[in-house]
Amino acid sequence: MKQIVKTDLYASKAPLEWAVIGNGTLYTAQIPIDTAGQVVEGGIEAQSRQTMDNLKHTIEAAGLGMQDVTQVLIYVTDRAFLPVFNQVYGQYFNAPYPNRAAMVIAGLAREEMLVEVVAYAAVPSV
């Protein structure tokens, strides 16, 4: 059984939830959109920050903290974006850091997106 995590993020018209909890794990994917559903402008730094802000909001909406994040999958559309993303990412986590993988891909669902993050977090048993 899955539990939907209610957030204040833009209500997507796509058939998706921003986060669900199932089997003691929170599953989420975040993109660089603002509250109006627009991809933020300003390049990779602005998009990285918006994506990470959306992730942090979602984690907190689930009653968790960033320390509960166990794995992060990072997708960028250019290898040169990784150092900038890493700088922003490092402002959201403290050691011990989540396990992580980074992939350079040809493109994302919206052409103007430069980054997307998939994350998993451990949900404590009640």
- pLDDT tens by residue, 9-56: 999 989 999 999 999 999 999 999 999 999 999 999 999 999 999 999
Residue 112 pLDDT exceeds 80: yes
Query: Stretch 85-113: mean pLDDT, rounded?
Result: 98
pTM over 0.75: yes
Give the mean pLDDT of the chain.
97
CATH architecture of 2-122: 2-Layer Sandwich (3.30)
Mention every residue, 6+ apart, whose C-beta is less than 8 A from residue 61.
Answer: 5, 6, 7, 8, 19
Amino acid identity for residue 80 in this structure:
A
